[in-house]
Amino acid sequence: MHVCYGRTMNASTPRRTFDAEQIQRVNQSVTMAEELVSNFFKMSANQWLRPKYDVSTLADLTPAEIVDGPFAQIIRYEGQRKGSPLGSDAYDYYKICLQDHAILAALDSSAELALLPFCLYVVVHELVHIVRFSKFLQNFNATASEKLAEEHRVHLITHQILSNVRLTGLDAVIEYYRSWRTPLENLSSP
């Protein structure tokens, strides 16, 4: 079972994927994001391993995991412990599906944006969602208005997590997402 946000793209639409050097930057952003989010939520290594998740780029996504528009999406799958027929052993498994084509298009459209800080913001944002789902602070199957309010909250938390991080280019990314930190009635996507 999976639930996702976004609109699936036509399978014949050509999409740009990250090259080997860009994948290294994405991996670096994931490592940094995991540390920042676990520190922010004061989660031990054991607690951090409990919310099961993975981060994948376009090359590793199925057609159903590819969307048009967002830079990433979270899909929730139901996992089952190996060899256990009991429903009580089921757990939520989250997959962060990075949309290379959308991220690269954003970078192409703005000279101020760089891949490492941009992906850091995106991955921190998605990990905050996963922590909030895992701690039952937000329902994954929320209504559209609840999802919008949650996006606003998560952007505020993401900004809080990244506000003291010193990384070249991060200020431009934080500015890019500024509209998400305004009151909800004035909210518009970047």
Q: What is the pTM of this model?
A: 0.83
Q: What is the DSSP string of the chain?
A: -EE--SEEPPTTS------HHHHHHHHHHHHHHHHHHHHHTT--HHHHHSSEEEEE-GGG--GGG-EES-SEEEEEEEEE-TT---GGGEEEEEEEEE-HHHHHHHHHH-TT--HHHHHHHHHHHHHHHHHHHHTTSS-TT--HHHHHHHHHHHHHHHHHHHTT---TTHHHHHHHTGGGGS-GGG----
| Residue 179 tokens, joined | 């509209």
**Beta-bridge partner residues of 2:** 77
pLDDT beyond 90 at 43: no
pLDDT beyond 80 at 140: no
pLDDT beyond 80 at 70: yes
CA dist., res. 169 & res. 146, Å (int): 31
How confident is the model at residue 10, as a pLDDT?
45
How confident is the model at residue 31, as a pLDDT?
94
pLDDT digits (tens, 9 = 90+) for 4-37: 333 344 445 578 999 999 999 999 999 999 999 9
How confident is the model at residue 11, as a pLDDT?
47
How confident is the model at residue 91, as a pLDDT?
75
CA dist., res. 156 & res. 121, Å (int): 12
CA dist., res. 74 & res. 66, Å (int): 11
How confident is the model at residue 141, as a pLDDT?
67
Strands 72-80 and 90-98, bridge-based pairing: antiparallel
